Each structure stands twice: as structure tokens, then as C-alpha cells.
């Protein structure tokens, strides 16, 4: 059957070159700006290629909205409905038939297709659209496709398409694939700026900007906001004062497909629309009738923290590339206006591109799929940006704790069961564990509720949301419940009996986020040590224990966005193998004493405690050692003599090395059992320790035959020619002698210690004020003494200031007494 003629769009001119590149080289990169027609025309133009007759063309779209829109647009060009020549498949929606030649899929679907069938049987080409978004699934799917092409399917065609992309870098990843560039067809866009006032909420600024442009300009408005919460608040502000011919339409990922489709349809006859959208509207879809774009300059991105195992949504400034994409939406069908809610000069400070998700994301799902693909180290695959080692290590650790991977990184039977569920790994583990007890459906419903935004309302109480979800009407809710039923069947079905509540299920997904109430009402601390807060009016705020599913914010006390109650018996039943009973000793610095308690602990949570009598004897000695190790050497009763001995030994170690012991804090803390423990006397109070045990302990670190040499090598005093007995300070830089200069008259050699190491002389005036420092006394006499003498004679005329101090008599007095 002859197909209709394709529309004439800017990309049409390069389609022959694209077809030739894929025919001869099997790979290509197509760079085309928004509106060029690459998403719809490139797949259709390739249908008649000889190689395309051997299988389907798979088009990968990063978002469900774009996938549906692309499939419907291509089907419309062919005069068909989706599901015939062009079909689509995504997590909760599928329109495919035996006739389907072009299959539009979302990213997770493609990665799973390749892992399940590395040869990609029945697939002739894979096209990666909007690759510049650099999603984790997109990067992973391309890496898998390149591996499949190199090892099993040299006839597989690969095409990477993007609007804004470093084409040369991607072409190099594809093995020097040809880069084909298309001109765009966009109308001029006038850039305007209106800075948001300091401290004003973005929804207030956006609502005022929308009202202004509706009053001054024609056509519909597309407003970019960071997330659903800001969209809803802006819609509330606009609803009060809006022209009668204007409709407000939200557009974000949590909406069902019908609501999303409604948002991108043209406004009705004689009406205008204001589309309040997240970054979902940046690319791939055209909203007819939009002449004005208002950009908040904000976006919400997931950021994974390996140190806590948490992924949080962070509101950040958009990149310049995203800002340009957003502005370009105003010029897709006619000349337009882009209003940016920041100063023009601030644009230069924006990051050039949005960071690739692979550098910021939780990699546990990727690692699980890699293991199923037979790859233990994802770095062995061809990624444009290598996955960070810390995130890979955290993902591997989590999967091994969930028993999904063995010690060698290979997929276990439990891991294979989790991977079949096509859920984030923690939720997959929850469903798999629940299936063992016959509760797969309840767990699957909770998993879908948590992984599909917007279901069951917005309550923080997941039991409440789960009940609402089960009663919810609408196509999206029906699709979600259908997905839950399929997941439950895949996990092992459901047996009769009462379904457990959400907390008893969640603990198998987030054992590290079991939380206990602490301090103020609504404040909690989790097993992992992180804090969380619920608003005091929330019902869950009065709970003794929670399992936290979602946290928002980066502070220690982040906002708990979703959680469920659980009781202590359920915690013990699920996590009893992780609960420890230990005796803890704490040092109370104010009282200088040790206190003991018996603690039943789950991570950072204290489930129960019992105060014990203070330790005595050997237990007290060990407790003192533990307290010093935990709090530092400052707990010990250092007197002047102990400090002086430590200083001497530290200097001898620095000057002579072994066998003189290291006196650094780190070394002494490491060897507490060698020098402190043997001299303790069973006291549980550090305030009762005698300083002499420190001197004895430090001396014991010196080999016996060297102990008698301490005084000789590092004497505590210097016998001056004047007869004075002057103390020597031992510092890190060396021994220091602070002495009045007259007491060294007659000395022709520099004073030394430790077999010839010179003392650092701090020469003092008769008033004990510094004159000069030197490590060469004879040189000082012969050199700068003349200037010092002239100054000192004027200041201290009653003292002797000889011209030749090396041959003068030392004195600690002023002028000598007359005989």
C-alpha cells in the first residue's frame, strides 16, 4: 500500500543523507533544532529502507507525553490510529499490533528489551530522540545497544537525535559516526526580562507576569515552573482574576495521559489558554497557539547522596541550553515573546548544560540490569559519561544487602525475581518479600502508588493514600491498578487474608528509614541517623515509629513527604537480626566521670536502655581507654611535668627518629593500651587520675636502655655561664632557650643538646623582652651585637654592655658590686 507523502519540514532536506549514512555505516547522529520535524519524519522516512523490512524501528522518547504525541502525530500523517503502522509502549499504556512497524517507547522499556533479548530480535533500528536530556535510562539504553551492535547485531542501525548536543562527542562514542545537521524553521522570539523581587515566592511572581502578558499580548501562554506544587499555587492565584476567555491548564508528569494530551491541544475557538508546565514541555511536543513563554528559570532535579542512600529533589537554576529550549517554544508557529524572570546579565552565569542524570542518580537499578545483562562493572560499557565510582559502590552494597547480587556481583535468584518486576530495586524487594507471605497485591499497589506521582492524593500518610488509590476513579487510576495486578501476578500472586498495612510492607523497602519520635512533636530520627520532620497537625506526627518513604530538603531535619506507621513488635519481627544489645560507656565531661548503660539499638535508634552502675576494676580501666579514644587526650590530667616530658620525647623523635617514640595525638591514641592502660588503677573517674601515671606511661614507651638518656639528650635546664639554671622549652621546631643576653657573656661556642644539636636562643633584654633569636652565638657576637649594644646602652645604662662580649664576664645582675 502506498503511503501518504510526508510533510515538507526543515529536516526533509537531510533525510536522504540520513538514510545513506544508516545504509552504509549503520550509525549516525542527527542534530536538528526544535521544530525541524526530526521526531516524526526521521522514523517515517526510514520505513522504505531495505534493512527496515527485517524488523521494527524503535523510537526512544524520554517522556511519556512526548512518546504518545510522537506516535499520534506519525499515525495521523499516515492517516491511521496509533497501534497500526505506528504504535507505542510505556509502563501503564500500550497500543501495539502485529502490523506495527514503528514502535515508540519510553526509556525504561527499551533498556529492559535489550537486557531480556540482547540480540534485539525483530528490531532493525533504534532511534534515540532528545538525547541531549541525558537521562540515565537513555544513556544506559545507548550503551546496551552499542554493546549489542558490536557483539551480536552488526546489522542493527543506531541513530542519536537531539536539538542541542555536542554532536562530535556523541559521534565519537558511536565510533566516528557521521554527524548530519538540519536547519530549523522557527520564528523570531523577542527576549524580555523581569527580575523576581527578593524574597517573593515564584508562584506570586509568575501569576503577576501571566496577568501582565495576557493584558498586553495575544495568543496563549506557556509558563515554566519547577514542579507540581508551584503549578498548583500559581493556578490558585490566577483563578481569582483571569479574563473570561482564558483557560488554565496544568502539565506535569503526575497527570494522567488524557490531562496531558488536553494541555497540548490548541485552545478552543475564541479562547486562549495558559499552560503551567514543568520541564516536561521543554522539548518534543509543540503546543499550538503559544506565542508567549514565561520562564521561572527554575527546574527540579533528582540528586542522589551516596553517603545517606537518599535521593532528594533539588530546585536549581536551569541551564542556558534549557533556557534556550524554553524560549524557542514561543516561536514554533509564529513570532513570539519569551519573558525570563531574571536579569539579562544573569543568563551568562547559568550552567551551560543540565548535568547528565548518570552523574547525580541512584544507580542500583542500572547495576541490577547490568548484572542481568552479564556485566558486573558498568564502566565496561560505552557511556558518554562514566558512572561515578561512589554511586556504583553504594548501589552494589545495597543490592548485596537486598540479596540481589552475590559477592562476585552476579545476579541471584532473588535479584532475578526483583528485576522481573520492573520497579525501583527497593520497591521490587518489598513486593518480592510480600509475595512470600501471600501479600503481593497490597505491596504492588503501594509500589505503584510510590513510583507514579499523583495517585491517591497528597497526604503524607501512605495508609490513607493507599485506601484512596484503591477507590480512585479515572483512566490513570485504572491503569495503575492494572499494573499493580500484573506486578503481583509476576511476583507470585495473592492469597486470601487481611492485607498488611503500609508500614509493615515499607520496612522491606527502607529498613534504614525506620524512624523513632524524638524531641519536639513531629520530629523523628531514622536508623541511618538522619532527622525528619512532620508538620505538627499531621496525624502521623504523634506516632512512636514510622517508616519513611520520601524526604524533601537537604537539612538534617528534612520534611517527611510520605511515611507510614509501624509498631515496635513489627520492627523486631522484620529487623530483629539487625538489632544489637550493647553496653555503652559515656564520659560526662562536666563531672569527669564515666556512666554505663545497657542499650538495645537499631542503627541510630535506641529502642530501650537501662542505666548500669559505674564500672570498676579492669572494666573501669577499659572504659577510661575507650573514653579517651573517643574524646581525645585532653581528657587526661596533664600537668607541667607531663607536658614537658611529652615535648622532649616528641622533639627527640623528630630529631633522631627510632627508637624515640612518636608523641603525636594520633600515635598516642593508637597505643593507649601500651602506655596508659597498664598504669590505670580501676577508677571510673578521670578527675581522680594522677598526672604521674602519664609521666610513667610515656616513659614506658621508651626502650629501657634509652630511658636514662632522656635527661642527657634532652635536659630540662641549661646551666648558664652566669650560674643561672634556665629551663629549656621543647617545641616542634626544636629546643628553645629564652635567656637574658648578659648571662651568656664569655661564651665562645653555641649551646647544644643531644650530642651537638644547637639550641634556638631567644636573647632577652634585662627586662626579659626579646632582642634577637639565633642559632649561631659566635656569629651574633661578631656581627649584629654592635647594633644591639648601642640600643641597649641607651635603654639600660645601669647594665654592662661590653664591646667584646665573648671575652666579658657573664652576669645576671646590673653593674657588678664594688669591692
DSSP category for residue 513: G
What is the fold, at CATH topology level, of the domain defined by 10-181? Answer: Rossmann fold (3.40.50)
Rounded to two decimals, the pTM is 0.72
Is residue 266 within 8 Å of residue 289, measured between CB atoms?
A: yes
Lowest mean pLDDT among 371-375, 612-616, 773-777: 612-616
Q: What is the mean pLDDT of residues 757-766?
A: 92
* Rounded-to-integer distance, Cα 189 and Cα 339, Å: 10
* Rounded-to-integer distance, Cα 521 and Cα 239, Å: 36
* Rounded-to-integer distance, Cα 87 and Cα 791, Å: 99
Residue 287: the pLDDT is 77
Q: Are strands 27-31 and 545-552 parallel, antiparallel or unpaired?
A: unpaired
pLDDT by residue (tens digit) across 787-804?
Answer: 999 999 889 988 989 999
Residue 307: is its pLDDT beyond 90?
no
Cell of 83: 497501534
Residue-averaged pLDDT of the chain: 89
Is residue 409 within 8 Å of residue 370, measured between CB atoms?
A: no
Strand segments (E) across 268-407: 272-277, 290-295, 298-305, 310-317, 336-340
Which residue would you say has higher pLDDT here, 685 or 484?
484
Q: Indicate the helix (H) or strand (E) that contains 602.
A: strand 593-602
CA Rg value for the chain: 38
Q: What is the mean pLDDT of residues 722-751?
A: 90
pLDDT by residue (tens digit) across 244-274?
Answer: 889 999 988 777 777 777 888 888 888 999 9
Q: What is the band of 623 on the pLDDT scale with cuts at 50, 70, 90? A: confident
Residue 345: is its pLDDT beyond 60?
yes
Q: What is the mean pLDDT of residues 315-319?
A: 90
Q: What is the band of 782 on the pLDDT scale with cuts at 50, 70, 90? A: very high
Residue 497: the pLDDT is 62
The rounded percent of the chain whose pLDDT value lies above 70 is 96
261: buried, middle or exposed (CB in 10 Å: 19+, 13-18, 0-12)?
A: middle
Residue 386: is its pLDDT beyond 80?
yes
- CB neighbourhood size of 661 (10 A): 22
Residue 819: the pLDDT is 43
Q: What is the band of 203 on the pLDDT scale with cuts at 50, 70, 90? A: very high
* Rounded-to-integer distance, Cα 332 and Cα 652, Å: 79
pLDDT by residue (tens digit) across 711-729?
Answer: 888 898 999 998 899 999 9
Q: What is the band of 52 on the pLDDT scale with cuts at 50, 70, 90? A: very high
Q: Indicate the helix (H) or strand (E) that contains 612.
A: strand 605-612
Is residue 75 within 8 Å of residue 3, measured between CB atoms?
A: no
Cell of 145: 545497544
Q: How far is CA 525 from the centre of its chain?
A: 20
pLDDT by residue (tens digit) across 647-671?
Answer: 999 989 988 888 999 999 999 999 9
Residue in 236, 234, 237 with CA at minimum distance from that of residue 223: 234
Cell of 409: 556481583
Matching fold, domains 10-181 and 189-355: yes
Domain boundaries, the chain: 10-181, 189-355, 359-386+393-494, 579-714, 717-807
* Rounded-to-integer distance, Cα 599 and Cα 584, Å: 7
The gap between the terminal CA atoms of the chain, to the nearest Å, is 136
What is the fold, at CATH topology level, of the domain defined by 189-355? Answer: Rossmann fold (3.40.50)
- CB neighbourhood size of 151 (10 A): 10
Amino acid at each position: 500500500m502506498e503511503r501518504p507523502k510526508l510533510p515538507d519540514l526543515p529536516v526533509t532536506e537531510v533525510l536522504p543523507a540520513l538514510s545513506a549514512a544508516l545504509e552504509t555505516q549503520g550509525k549516525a547522529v542527527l542534530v536538528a533544532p526544535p521544530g525541524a520535524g526530526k521526531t516524526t519524519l526521521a522514523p517515517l522516512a526510514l520505513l522504505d529502507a531495505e534493512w527496515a523490512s527485517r524488523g521494527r524501528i524503535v523510537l526512544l522518547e524520554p517522556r511519556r507525553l512526548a512518546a504518545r504525541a510522537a506516535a499520534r502525530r506519525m499515525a495521523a500523517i499516515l492517516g491511521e490510529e496509533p497501534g497500526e503502522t505506528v504504535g507505542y509502549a510505556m509502563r501503564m499504556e500500550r497500543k501495539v499490533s502485529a502490523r506495527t512497524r514503528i514502535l515508540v517507547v519510553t526509556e525504561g522499556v527499551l533498556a529492559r528489551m535489550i537486557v531480556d533479548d540482547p540480540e534485539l530480535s525483530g528490531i532493525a533500528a533504534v532511534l534515540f530522540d532528545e538525547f541531549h536530556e541525558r537521562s540515565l535510562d537513555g544513556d544506559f539504553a545507548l550503551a546496551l545497544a552499542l554493546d549489542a551492535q558490536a557483539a551480536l547485531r552488526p546489522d542493527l542501525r543506531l541513530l542519536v537525535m537531539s536539538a542541542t548536543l555536542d554532536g562530535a562527542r556523541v559521534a565519537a562514542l558511536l565510533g566516528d559516526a557521521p554527524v548530519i545537521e538540519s536547519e530549523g524553521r522557527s520564528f523570531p522570539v523577542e527576549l524580555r526580562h523581569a527580575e523576581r523581587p527578593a524574597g517573593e515566592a515564584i508562584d506570586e511572581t509568575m501569576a503577576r507576569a501571566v496577568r501582565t502578558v495576557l493584558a498586553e499580548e495575544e495568543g496563549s501562554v506557556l509558563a515554566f515552573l519547577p514542579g507540581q506544587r508551584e503549578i498548583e499555587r500559581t493556578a490558585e492565584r490566577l483563578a481569582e482574576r483571569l479574563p473570561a476567555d482564558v483557560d488554565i491548564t496544568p502539565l506535569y508528569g503526575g497527570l494522567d495521559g488524557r490531562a496531558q494530551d488536553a494541555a497540548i491541544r490548541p485552545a478552543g475557538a475564541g479562547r486562549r489558554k495558559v499552560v503551567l508546565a514543568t520541564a516536561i514541555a521543554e522539548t518534543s511536543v509543540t503546543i499550538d497557539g503559544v506565542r508567549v513563554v514565561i520562564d521561572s528559570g527554575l527546574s527540579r532535579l533528582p540528586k542522589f547522596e551516596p553517603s545517606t542512600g537518599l535521593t532528594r529533589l533539588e530546585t536549581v537554576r536551569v541551564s542556558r541550553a534549557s533556557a534556550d529550549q524554553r524560549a524557542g517554544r514561543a516561536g514554533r508557529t509564529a513570532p513570539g515573546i519569551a519573558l525570563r524572570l531574571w536579569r539579562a546579565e544573569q543568563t551568562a552565569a547559568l550552567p551551560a548544560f543540565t548535568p547528565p542524570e548518570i552523574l547525580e542518580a541512584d544507580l542500583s537499578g542500572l547495576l541490577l540490569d547490568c548484572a542481568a545483562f552479564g556485566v558486573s562493572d558498568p564502566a565496561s560499557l560505552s557511556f558518554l559519561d562514566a558512572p561515578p565510582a561512589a554511586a556504583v559502590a553504594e548501589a552494589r552494597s545495597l543490592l548485596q544487602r537486598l540479596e540481589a547480587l552475590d559477592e562476585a556481583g552476579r545476579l541471584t535468584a532473588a535479584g532475578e525475581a526483583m528485576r522481573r518486576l520492573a520497579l525501583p530495586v527497593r520497591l521490587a524487594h518489598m513486593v518480592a518479600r510480600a509475595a512470600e507471605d501471600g501479600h503481593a497485591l497490597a505491596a504492588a499497589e503501594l509500589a505503584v502508588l510510590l513510583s507514579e506521582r499523583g495517585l491517591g492524593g497528597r497526604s503524607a500518610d501512605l495508609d490513607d493514600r493507599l485506601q484512596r488509590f484503591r477507590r480512585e476513579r479515572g483512566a490513570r487510576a485504572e491503569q495503575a491498578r492494572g499494573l499493580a495486578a500484573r506486578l503481583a501476578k509476576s511476583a507470585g500472586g495473592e492469597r486470601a487474608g487481611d492485607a498488611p498495612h503500609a508500614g509493615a510492607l515499607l520496612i522491606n523497602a527502607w529498613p534504614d528509614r525506620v524512624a523513632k519520635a524524638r524531641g519536639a512533636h513531629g520530629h523523628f530520627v531514622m536508623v541511618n541517623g538522619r532527622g525528619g520532620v512532620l508538620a505538627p497537625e499531621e496525624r502521623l506526627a504523634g506516632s512512636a515509629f514510622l517508616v519513611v518513604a520520601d524526604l524533601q530538603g537537604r537539612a538534617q531535619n528534612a520534611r517527611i513527604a510520605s511515611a507510614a506507621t509501624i509498631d515496635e513488635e513489627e520492627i523486631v519481627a522484620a529487623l530483629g537480626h539487625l538489632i544489637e544489645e550493647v553496653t555503652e560507656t559515656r564520659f560526662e565531661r562536666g563531672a569527669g566521670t564515666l556512666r554505663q548503660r545497657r542499650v538495645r539499638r537499631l542503627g541510630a535508634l535506641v529502642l530501650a536502655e537501662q542505666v548500669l552502675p559505674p564500672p570498676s576494676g579492669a572494666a573501669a580501666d577499659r572504659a577510661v581507654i575507650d573514653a579517651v579514644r573517643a574524646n581525645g587526650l585532653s581528657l587526661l590530667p596533664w600537668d607541667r611535668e607531663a607536658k614537658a616530658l611529652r615535648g622532649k620525647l616528641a622533639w627527640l623523635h623528630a630529631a633522631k627518629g627510632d627508637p624515640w617514640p612518636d608523641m603525636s595525638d594520633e600515635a598516642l591514641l593508637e597505643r593507649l593500651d601500651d602506655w596508659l592502660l597498664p598504669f590505670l588503677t580501676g577508677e571510673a573517674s578521670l578527675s581522680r587520675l594522677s598526672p604521674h601515671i602519664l609521666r610513667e606511661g610515656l616513659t614506658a614507651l621508651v626502650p629501657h636502655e634509652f630511658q636514662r638518656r632522656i635527661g642527657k639528650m634532652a635536659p630540662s635546664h641549661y646551666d648558664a655561664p652566669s650560674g643561672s639554671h634556665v629551663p629549656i622549652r621543647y617545641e616542634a621546631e626544636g629546643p628553645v632557650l629564652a635567656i637574658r643576653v648578659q648571662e651568656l657573656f664569655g661564651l665562645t661556642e653555641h649551646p647544644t643538646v643531644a650530642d651537638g644539636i644547637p639550641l634556638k636562643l631567644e636573647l632577652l633584654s634585662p627586662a626579659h623582652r626579646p632582642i634577637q633569636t639565633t642559632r649561631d652565638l659566635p656569629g651574633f657576637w661578631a656581627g649584629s651585637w654592635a647594633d644591639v649594644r648601642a640600643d641597649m646602652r641607651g635603654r639600660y645604662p645601669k647594665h654592662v654592655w661590653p664591646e667584646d662580649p665573648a671575652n666579658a664576664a657573664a652576669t645576671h645582675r646590673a653593674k657588678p658590686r664594688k669591692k
